[in-house]
Structure 1
């Protein structure tokens, strides 16, 4: 039995894909120590792992000015968030709570970037990188030219990144990486929660990248949902969720009401548990069911079209259940994920800056009634279901690292 340290960025789209893998490793006899924040304690304890927590601002990715996602304009924005936000807030806390403990290997989240390499180096153990989006075929930030009209902005980002990197390197007595190496997927094994078919340019990645598809495991703490109402009302259901970070735009929800009211369809809207819905009282159409939180894996199995921000976790779960998408990407990897879905014919992309009720309604009805979208969603979904899931990921990790 090996002793395993797991450190995942405290965000839904990064924590949830790890649940099945950790459960399987525990079932196979590994002693797993999962270091996370208090918000995820009960969820992680259900996997059988030992949980250790550190302080982190609740809903930090919505409130912290460094961690809060921005509309994607340049790779340095993402690198800056990790170097100046994620690493300084996570790495010292993790090292503090595990002080004087020993481990045989590390599983770390790709969003930690260089932070995962620092942990592995300080602990003297090999690492597995958990990649919850597309794997980088080319290093992020390599050979990027700054936008001419924003040269000053990108230069400031670069300087902030490298200044922070130098401070981190000095604190932990490690070498300063090049900017393009900060987000590199390091480790002896890289678990990618998608399929080779869905991953762009997958043939350019070596055999250290293991494509296992999304880690689909029922959530034991999922709230109940009135599925009976869906069956009683209409035969088709549209599900709307903008994830757990970018879900506080009440004007967007009003737009959804205008776009889809009076249609002979069910509309389920997950507004987010930190979203204040008081201003929407009295405005919700009769064909809508609005909840602060909906068990996504369950509702997707009753969904015909998913309106989403195109976060990788949400898109993967939808496609796993053959659900086509209407995507409104906003930040981070969302534009790239949406573009790939669109390229493969499983959904359409709308521009958040030129969005109207009429355009949203048209897109939803197009995807709902054109069978080609569902057909292509099924094609991707089949590749995800056949990828092996968390059991294949755990088997590969055990083969490489486990003690007899």
Structure 2
């Protein structure tokens, strides 16, 4: 069997989708060496892979000025983040920790972009690109209409290409064009969604494998009293704003005001590192607030999911046929929210124009109109039929067995 090197950006939304695939590869007999950070040791080792770690700031995606999420107004902003925040930090560390080990193929995270091509070239092996969001037909920000002749974009271009030239010299590889840096490279591109849910899927060739979301239970999930939910009210609303931008107490207060007097259960996952003490005496009686909720289990008891529209959370909800009220905050979330809304499975709200009335009205619409549930089921069916991580592992192994 093959030796596989997996290199995934150390972020929840990128590591989690890869876990089912890696588990299946090891179950199928592949030897997987997974390079990531210490933070993810427990869940990665549960896959059967060997973990090699390197230092990386645990809160980089929350506080680092280059890497923290933002609304990309032009592709150069996204590409600069990839080069200056991801490639420059990860590629040297990966090459350092693997030493002189030999591998048969590489699985790398799409957020690394050209960095994955560098690794594949230096190791002399073919690669698979792991795409944790939609496959980007155009880079993030390409649809915002910012003029490429503006001073800011010229400076971004020069800063990005300066780092790119330095990295190309360091690793003795050719210098890519700007548009090649974020491109999905590799023999195969694994996308954790369905062709139906993927925007502009007709523009993507057969090297893209649409396997659906990687639904694998988290072993570290705490217990939750699910049996109490239906005893209280017939409907349950679940609120979670992800793991990076989930400390907005003002938003949680808005939710209390919007939903506190409704005859529904409201389960709020506030985040492990969110201090809810300032709001402790304002939590309505119909709310259950926990720092962490087993999301896959929770969604199976949920009627409407209020979310930031991160790709993982959105896919998991739709997999379980749950319609959504979405408040996209940053990065690819507006793209995901727009796709869900376009397919009729939810409502996207403007984060700048939230109020208790707006939240309440959106929830009432999705709860009362059966069309949202019907469309969520349609997407969910397409995700379930995509085959998941078992099909992805089989296709990858079959491909490289023929090479």
Rounded Cα–Cα distance in structure 2 between residues aligned with 1:45 and 1:351: 40
Change over 3 Å in CA distance of 1:138–1:369 after alignment to 2: same
CA distance in 2, matches of 1:330, 1:399: 39
Moved more, 163-172 or 369-378: 163-172
1:286-365 to structure 2, matched below 5 A, reads 286-365=285-364
For residue 110 of structure 1, report the CA deviation from its aligned partner: 0.4
What secondary structure does 1:280 align onto? helix
Alpha-carbon offset, residue 140 of structure 1: 5.8
What is the number of equivalent residue pairs in this alignment?
Answer: 403
> Following TM superposition, by how much is the alpha carbon of 1:231 offset from its aligned partner in structure 2, in angstroms?
2.4
**Tell me, what secondary structure is at the counterpart of 1:281?**
helix
1:71–1:143 Cα change, 3 Å: closer
After the TM superposition, which residues 1-400 of structure 1 pair with which residues of structure 2 at under 5 Å, given as runs?
1-138=1-138, 146-147=146-147, 151-400=150-399
Cα distance in 2 for partners of 1:165, 1:218 equals 39
**CA shift digits 1:175-212 (9 cap, x unpaired):** 11111111111000111100010111112211100101
Cα distance, 1:170 vs. partner? 1.4
Deviation at residue 59 of structure 1 after TM alignment = 2.3
Following TM superposition, by how much is the alpha carbon of 1:153 offset from its aligned partner in structure 2, in angstroms? 2.3
- SS of the residue corresponding to residue 237 of structure 2 reads strand
Residue 144 and residue 361 in structure 1: after superposition, are their counterparts in 2 closer, same or farther (change >3 A)?
closer
**Cα displacement string for residues 345-399 of structure 1 (whole angstroms, at most 9, x for unaligned residues):** 0000100011111101100111011100000000000000000000110000110
Q: Do the aligned partners of 1:72 and 1:330 also contact (CA within 8 Å) in 2?
A: no
Distance in 1, Cα, partners of 2:326 & 2:23: 31
> What are the Cα deviations for residues 245-302 of structure 1, in whole angstroms up to 9, with x where unaligned?
1111111111111111011111111111121222112111111111111111110111
1:88 Cα deviation from its structure 2 partner: 1.4
Mark the CA change 1:278 to 1:144 in structure 2 (over 3 Å): closer, same or farther: closer
Change (3 A) 1:191 1:152: same
Q: Normalised by the size of structure 1, how large is the TM-score?
A: 0.96
Q: Deviations over 1:14-51 (max 9, x none)?
A: 11111111110001000000111111001011111111
Asked whether the 8 Å contact 1:140–1:180 carries over to 2, the reply is no
The CA deviation at 1:136 is: 1.8
Say if 1:72 and 1:142 are closer, same or farther in 2 by CA, change over 3 A.
Answer: closer
Local SS of the residue matching 1:326: strand
**Aligned partner of residue 101 in structure 1, secondary structure:** coil
TM-score by length of structure 2 reads 0.97
Deviations 1:288-329 (A, max 9, x none): 111111111110111100111111111101000000000111
